[in-house]
């Protein structure tokens, strides 16, 4: 049973890394500064970053050890989430792509929500 769970977890991490790579590519095409770096060819970890405007940065890390979402503004950490909460926040970011929100529009919406 545990070997099966370990393999499912590895597969989950690989799928998540591939999706992060695709998201970074699409975000770049939409005008965001975004990147996704992986170590090795096995896709067992990734560091994803995107700039949402002036001094507003999102960092998403995934590996066998865990998943974290960190949001920073002006070099200060605003929010740090782990696990399922981090993945939910990633879905919000993916919605930017899905609904074709431009970086400047996102900044305006974020400011209005504050």
> pTM of the prediction?
0.82
- The predicted structure's pLDDT at residue 104: 56
- The predicted structure's pLDDT at residue 101: 67
- The predicted structure's pLDDT at residue 111: 45
- The predicted structure's pLDDT at residue 97: 78
- The predicted structure's pLDDT at residue 15: 94
- Beta pairing class for 76-82 and 56-63: unpaired
- The predicted structure's pLDDT at residue 103: 57
For 79-100, b/e burial (b = at least 16 CB within 10 A) is: eebeeeebeebbeebbebeeee
pLDDT in tens, the chain (114 residues): 999 999 999 999 999 999 999 999 999 998 899 999 998 788 899 999 999 888 899 999 998 889 999 999 999 999 999 999 999 999 988 987 788 766 555 544 444 444
- The predicted structure's pLDDT at residue 96: 77
Task: With H, G, I as helix, E, B as strand and everything else as coil, classify residue 60.
Answer: strand
């Amino acid at each position: 049973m545990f070997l099966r769970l370990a393999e499912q977890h590895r597969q989950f991490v690989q799928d998540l890394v591939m999706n992060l790579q695709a998201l970074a590519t699409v975000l770049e095409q939409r005008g965001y500064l975004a990147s996704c770096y992986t170590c090795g060819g096995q896709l067992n970890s990734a560091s994803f970053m995107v700039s949402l405007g002036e001094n507003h940065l999102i960092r998403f890390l995934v590996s066998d050890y865990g998943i974290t979402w960190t949001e920073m503004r002006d070099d200060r950490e605003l929010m740090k989430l782990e696990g399922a909460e981090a993945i939910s926040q990633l879905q919000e970011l993916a919605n930017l792509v899905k609904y074709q929100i431009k970086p400047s529009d996102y900044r305006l919406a974020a400011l209005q929500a504050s």
